[in-house]
Amino acid sequence: MSFVSVRGLDKHFPVRGAGWLSRRNRPAPVVRAVDGISFDIDRGRTLGLVGESGCGKSTVARCVTRLLAPSAGTIRIGDKQLDRLEGEPLRAARRDVQMVFQDPLAALNPRMSVERAVSEPLRLHTTLSPAEQRERVREILTEVGLRTDVMGRYPHELSGGQRQRVNIARALACAPSFVVLDEPTSALDVSLRARVILMLEELRERLGLTYLFISHDLATVKYLAQRVVVMYLGTVVEEADTDELFAHPRHPYTRALLAAVPVPDPKVRGEPFVLSGEIPSPLERHEGCPLRSRCPMASAICAQPVVPREVSPGHVVACHFA
């Protein structure tokens, strides 16, 4: 059985300000930020979640960690049914589910020292004495490759790489089993990025962590994830094991995404595969394939709802032509 299981996850946001103009007998307009997403992650593995801005990947992250309450669907992590928990049981369950955010500076309280920031989850979730907490902070900082003399420093005194390490240390302080990484390397410089990628991989192996790795950087996803889910406009368009997805992308959106990645070798020229226009507003959703207004392969059948299909073992595609 998989360690993390998400089924039929929906997150709809009501649109503010649209009320007085819309007709009264119509239902209030909603943005379907996440619309019926399902995925599984095996224990100790990394699932990559990719897609462009506005596809709903960060909303998925926030629902899975229950920072947002999902509109519908189930979220099971280990033996806990997160979608059903509220109050104290939810707070207790969060000890096992942690998150690392994209902007390492914004994610840290500027008025908290490194020691306080990293020990905060320990104060909330454990019964360790202050001396024990301090010992654990030292241990976890060493684990993420920081020297313990940063403990008294404040976020503005740290480099970008150090800040993200503090965020990772904070997420790992309570020894969680599942970590959601929302673009953890995007704000980092090239040389730091490589180090954080290697560190995340090493920590996963050594501590037996399970990751949901969210990124728009396909090369990093390829490096870290064993399985990949591709999202577009709140839905999953393709899902496969990493090697299979990168070798045989079947959905036009995945193909366009892969074709757009600039390869650091002038001799490798990818086949151009370009979608027209830009991502439409999630308010303007229609029936049928969400990509059809931009897809070069689109035809009349694409106005019909798409049923995801398994094209080869473990490779699922939501496209009429797959």
Q: Which of 205, 86, 203 is nearest to 142 (CA)?
A: 203
Per-residue binding string, other proteins, 62-101, x by CB under 8 A, is ----------------------------------------
Which of 41, 141, 218, 295: binder of other proteins (CB under 8 A)?
Answer: 218
Verify binding: residue 298, other proteins, rule CB under 8 A: no
CB of 257 to other proteins, least distance (A): 6
3-class DSSP assignment, residue 36: strand
Using the contact rule CB under 8 A, the part of the chain among 3-11, 91-99, 148-156, 275-283 near other proteins is 275-283
Contact 194, 170 (CB under 8 A): no
Q: Which is nearer to other proteins, 263 or 301 (CB)?
A: 263
CB of 263 to other proteins, least distance (A): 5
Verify binding: residue 274, other proteins, rule CB under 8 A: yes
Using the contact rule CB under 8 A, the part of the chain among 2-10, 75-83, 195-203, 226-234 near other proteins is 195-203
Verify binding: residue 53, other proteins, rule CB under 8 A: yes
Tokens of 205: 């192996």
Contact 273, 252 (CB under 8 A): yes
Using the contact rule CB under 8 A, the part of the chain among 81-89, 150-158, 188-196, 228-236 near other proteins is 188-196
Residues 6+ positions from 260 with CB-CB distance below 8 Å: none
CA distance 259 to 276: 14
CB of 234 to other proteins, least distance (A): 16
Quick count: other Cβ atoms within 10 Å of Cβ 66? 19
CA distance 73 to 80: 14
Contact 54, 86 (CB under 8 A): no
Which amino acid, 44? G
Alpha carbon 274 to chain centroid distance?
25
CB of 206 to other proteins, least distance (A): 17
CA distance 232 to 54: 8
Per-residue binding string, other proteins, 219-258, x by CB under 8 A, is xx-xx----------------------x---------xxx
Q: Which of 32, 26, 27 is nearest to 70 (CA)?
A: 32
CA distance 273 to 253: 9
Place of tokens 């020990």: 119
How many residues at the interface with other proteins, by CB under 8 A? 38
Verify binding: residue 198, other proteins, rule CB under 8 A: yes
Verify binding: residue 155, other proteins, rule CB under 8 A: no
Which of 96, 216, 285, 293: binder of other proteins (CB under 8 A)?
Answer: 216
Verify binding: residue 159, other proteins, rule CB under 8 A: yes
Q: Which residues bind other proteins (CB under 8 A)?
A: 52-53, 159, 161, 189-195, 197-198, 216, 218-220, 222-223, 246, 256-269, 274-275, 277-278
